[in-house]
A and B are shown apart, each in its own frame.
Chain A
Amino acid sequence: MTNRQGAYCLLLFMVPILIYVFSSDWAFVPMRDGVLIGAFTMMYLGFCVIFILAMIAGPGANELLEDIGEINTPGLVKIVLFLLGAVAVTFWHEAYGFVMLCSLFLAAVSWFAGQTSPVGILIYSLIVSTALYLLFSLLGFDLSIAPGLKVEFL
């Protein structure tokens, strides 16, 4: 893929944002000082589009983007799973226990990152999640080991 094609992708990325801002009910409402609420937002979006156009037309547009070849479907799946896992750990650690969720998360990610031995994954994820648990508990955060199981660190 070249820089120019990359810039087209960026343009595609900007379209929903542009639609959101320009069709919003706040963008064109004037404030006390006469400035529209969305004035600065819209100006900055304009800059974004101008510089994407500069990428398309400017020097180096035909240069190749080297890393982009490494994008692959299994990798994308891993990323999606990682994102879901991160959200799950954050929102559910109180309900399901921090150490439990975090070690599951770590096990999955270390498997994704190329760790293959099940024993290695198990030991690693348990040690790291316990260490993180101890560290944050000592700092005064309210974390649990398993659902409902808590140790007071006060």
Chain B
Amino acid sequence: MINFDALQTALGMVFALDTILWMIVGIAVGVGVGAMPGLQSSTAVALMLPLTFNMEVAPALGLLIGLYKGSVYGGSISAISFATPGAPEAAATVADGYKLMQRGKGKKALHMALYASVTADFLSDLITIFLAPALALVALKFGPSERAWVLILAITLIGALSGRRLAKGMFSAALGLYIGTMGSDPIGLVPRNTFGLWWMRDGVPLPPLVIGIFAMSMVLQELMKPAVVAVARDKASKLADVLLSKSEGLKLREYLSCWKEMMIGLGVGSFVGVLPGLGATVGAFLSYAVAKQVSPHKGIGNGALEGVAAAEAGNNATVGPTLVPLIAFGIPGSATAALLGGALILQGVTPSPRMFDLFPHIIYALFIILLLGNIANLAVGRAFASVYARIGEIPRAYLVPLIGAMAVLGTYAYQQNPYHIFIMLACGLIGLMFRYLSIPAAPLVITFMVAPLAEANLRKAVLISGGDWFHTLFNSPLSIGLAVACVMSVLAAIRFKMNENAMITDRDDE
């Protein structure tokens, strides 16, 4: 089963000085790029791709995988430090991470994010390695109607994200659904709901939306607050404090106490990762929602390390499984998988089902680099965390303009499309309105992402079955099972909400 000769060759390829060095370079650059909102892992990978043209296969893979892993962690750094998700998948981390930062526990939060990411990533890579062919077969069972049900299931879970007042969370979700229909009709491909603007044709892209709702709304709220005239001496001494202070890192006990959230993240993330088209953002939010539902007493959402752990684990557990379709069928399941596939092709290795027979040493090298990248990420990431942990202590008059400029630039940098700035600012105003009316933003983001996919799958399924909605929705045992799961999820959410309200009333009575 395991080809030991190939394994030995692979080990020799990976544990070479240049491979390790390129991997570290990749991670360091990746963390830096990932921490900039708007710049995503795929941008980083694409920018460095030409460097790999003249490399051997192992250093090339080391560099690209390092870049990828580093930038995924970088996204959560800016989510925690600036409340600005560096990448959409880090948006679920903002709620708890930034609150911890404000309480001076930034380093703890950054470490938790790093450890949860690495743990989930490592375990999901192992799952991928051992179960890739089996997982691929499971993924094939999911046709358009099954996928539509999975997506509907995801929507039913957002009740847990809706905060104290269910109606407010549901309004947020409904507005997300509405924004998700902007763009074109998935069947006729004609524009709809674009307000007659030609540049809205592809709809609202996720990064400007996330930057607007989470970061820009915060900047706008800060601008609304009356300026506090600080004494100059005070500020100088505070800056010095920031530079000299030492904040506390994460304790082993705290890491271990989040095992449950990390396992939830691993399970949810791996499942979401295998299905094509969903990706890390859905993984992060779903895992966060499930963790919140499972442990309502832990205060997830109010600055709990468990919240950071669940979101980050859910996000990173999708990394390994998105490679499953690439390895099993030669079809990339995500943008990054496509880039890695491209790098492999450049090296003369075409991803295909026969890759295991033709190039076993390269597959093994890929797997070993995937695992090793996690460990290197841990080392590099810790160094970055100590630097970034202090950012939360910078005085507001310096921090607010910086976040504002980063949000504007990040939006532009995402695709160098100037029109995205309008989308981002509009989302910032919606986010500001949400802040003042205390409406949670997380449901909006998740329904915005999920709804267009659900609609496209549903309508494709109906088209395939010839217009019969009932048979479309319940065409296989899997569909029926998923439908039952949706109903149960809704019932569980209602019970959870009632318990929570009872708890709030109890507290009010005391």
- What's the Cα separation between A55 and B222 when bound, in Å? 27
How many residues on A have C-beta within 8 angstroms of the other chain's C-beta atoms?
Answer: 70
Query: In the complex, are the beta carbons of A55 and B401 less than 8 A apart?
Result: no
Question: Which residues from 61 to 91 on chain A have a C-beta closer than 8 Å to any C-beta of chain B?
Answer: 65, 67-68, 70-72, 74-76, 78-79, 82-83, 86-87, 89-91
- What's the Cα separation between A31 and B27 when bound, in Å? 48
Question: Which residues from 161 to 185 on chain B have a C-beta closer than 8 Å to any C-beta of chain A?
Answer: 164-168, 170-171, 173-175, 177-178, 180-181, 185
Nearest CB of B to A116, in Å: 7
Query: In the complex, are the beta carbons of B164 and A114 less than 8 A apart?
Result: no
- Selecting from B123-131, B300-308, B416-424, the interface stretch reads B416-424
Given the contacts A86-B408, A132-B405, A70 and B225 also touching, CB distance less than 8 Å: yes
Given the contacts A37-B185, A37-B192, A113-B227, A54 and B167 also touching, CB distance less than 8 Å: yes
Nearest CB of A to B41, in Å: 14
- What's the Cα separation between A67 and B421 when bound, in Å? 27
* B-chain residues with CB within 8 Å of residue A48 when the two chains form the complex: 171, 174-175, 178
- Closest residue of chain B to A53 (Cβ to Cβ) is B167
* A-chain residues with CB within 8 Å of residue B404 when the two chains form the complex: 82, 86, 109
Give 1 or 0 for each of B413-442: 1 = CB within 8 Å of chain A CB. Answer: 100101001100100000011011110000
Query: In the complex, are the beta carbons of B437 and A6 less than 8 A apart?
Result: yes
Nearest CB of B to A85, in Å: 8
Query: In the complex, are the beta carbons of A41 and B170 less than 8 A apart?
Result: no
Query: In the complex, are the beta carbons of A10 and B437 less than 8 A apart?
Result: yes
Query: In the complex, are the beta carbons of B223 and A132 less than 8 A apart?
Result: no
Give 1 or 0 for each of A23-40: 1 = CB within 8 Å of chain B CB. Answer: 000110001111101101
* A-chain residues with CB within 8 Å of residue B345 when the two chains form the complex: none
Query: In the complex, are the beta carbons of B223 and A112 less than 8 A apart?
Result: yes
Query: In the complex, are the beta carbons of B400 and A117 less than 8 A apart?
Result: no
- What's the Cα separation between A140 and B405 when bound, in Å? 19
Query: In the complex, are the beta carbons of A67 and B433 less than 8 A apart?
Result: no
A102 within 8 A of B: yes
- What's the Cα separation between A91 and B404 when bound, in Å? 16
- What's the Cα separation between A57 and B345 when bound, in Å? 60
* B-chain residues with CB within 8 Å of residue A102 when the two chains form the complex: 405, 409
User: Of the candidates B180, B193, B195, B229, which one forms a contact with A38 in the assembled complex, judged by CB atoms under 8 Å apart?
Assistant: B193
A145 within 8 A of B: no
A153 within 8 A of B: no
Query: In the complex, are the beta carbons of A115 and B397 less than 8 A apart?
Result: yes
Query: In the complex, are the beta carbons of B187 and A65 less than 8 A apart?
Result: no
Query: In the complex, are the beta carbons of B438 and A72 less than 8 A apart?
Result: no
Given the contacts A31-B185, A110-B398, A114-B397, A75 and B405 also touching, CB distance less than 8 Å: no
User: Of the candidates B174, B459, B467, which one forms a contact with A44 in the assembled complex, judged by CB atoms under 8 Å apart?
Assistant: B174
- Closest residue of chain A to B167 (Cβ to Cβ) is A54
Query: In the complex, are the beta carbons of B227 and A136 less than 8 A apart?
Result: no
Query: In the complex, are the beta carbons of B402 and A128 less than 8 A apart?
Result: yes
* A-chain residues with CB within 8 Å of residue B188 when the two chains form the complex: 31-32, 37
B455 within 8 A of A: yes
Nearest CB of A to B332, in Å: 24
Query: In the complex, are the beta carbons of A114 and B227 less than 8 A apart?
Result: yes
Question: Which residues from 119 to 144 on chain A have a C-beta closer than 8 Å to any C-beta of chain B?
Answer: 124-125, 128-129, 132, 135-136, 139-141
A9 within 8 A of B: yes
Given the contacts A58-B167, A86-B425, A89-B408, A78 and B224 also touching, CB distance less than 8 Å: yes
Could you tell me the dominant secondary structure of chain B's interface residues? Answer: helix
* B-chain residues with CB within 8 Å of residue A135 when the two chains form the complex: 36
Query: In the complex, are the beta carbons of A113 and B396 less than 8 A apart?
Result: yes
Query: In the complex, are the beta carbons of B438 and A65 less than 8 A apart?
Result: yes
Nearest CB of A to B247, in Å: 24
User: Of the candidates A44, A51, A65, which one forms a contact with B167 in the assembled complex, judged by CB atoms under 8 Å apart?
Assistant: A51
- What's the Cα separation between A116 and B170 when bound, in Å? 43
Query: In the complex, are the beta carbons of B436 and A71 less than 8 A apart?
Result: yes
Query: In the complex, are the beta carbons of A136 and B413 less than 8 A apart?
Result: yes
- What's the Cα separation between A45 and B171 when bound, in Å? 10
A21 within 8 A of B: yes
* A-chain residues with CB within 8 Å of residue B191 when the two chains form the complex: 26
- Closest residue of chain B to A47 (Cβ to Cβ) is B174
- What's the Cα separation between A54 and B418 when bound, in Å? 38
- What's the Cα separation between A34 and B451 when bound, in Å? 19
- Chain B CB count within 10 A is highest, among A26, A40, A71, A79, for A40
Nearest CB of A to B171, in Å: 4
Query: In the complex, are the beta carbons of B398 and A67 less than 8 A apart?
Result: no
Nearest CB of A to B174, in Å: 4
Nearest CB of A to B129, in Å: 33
Given the contacts A75-B226, A78-B224, A112-B227, A47 and B401 also touching, CB distance less than 8 Å: no
- What's the Cα separation between A61 and B397 when bound, in Å? 36
Query: In the complex, are the beta carbons of A78 and B223 less than 8 A apart?
Result: yes
- What's the Cα separation between A99 and B230 when bound, in Å? 28
Minimum-distance CB pairs A-B, first 7: A114-B227, A75-B224, A47-B174, A109-B401, A54-B167, A51-B171, A44-B177
Given contacts A132-B406, A135-B36, 17 further A-B contacts (CB under 8 A): A33-B467, A40-B177, A40-B455, A41-B193, A51-B171, A51-B174, A52-B171, A78-B224, A105-B405, A105-B408, A110-B397, A112-B223, A113-B397, A124-B398, A136-B409, A140-B47, A141-B413
| A interface residue numbers (CB < 8 A to B) | 3, 6, 9-10, 13, 17, 20-21, 26-27, 31-35, 37-38, 40-41, 44-45, 47-48, 50-52, 54-55, 58-60, 65, 67-68, 70-72, 74-76, 78-79, 82-83, 86-87, 89-91, 102, 105-106, 109-110, 112-117, 124-125, 128-129, 132, 135-136, 139-141
| B interface residue numbers (CB < 8 A to A) | 33, 36, 39, 47, 164-168, 170-171, 173-175, 177-178, 180-181, 185, 187-188, 190-193, 195, 219-220, 222-230, 232, 396-398, 400-402, 404-406, 408-409, 411-413, 416, 418, 421-422, 425, 432-433, 435-438, 451, 455, 459, 462-463, 467
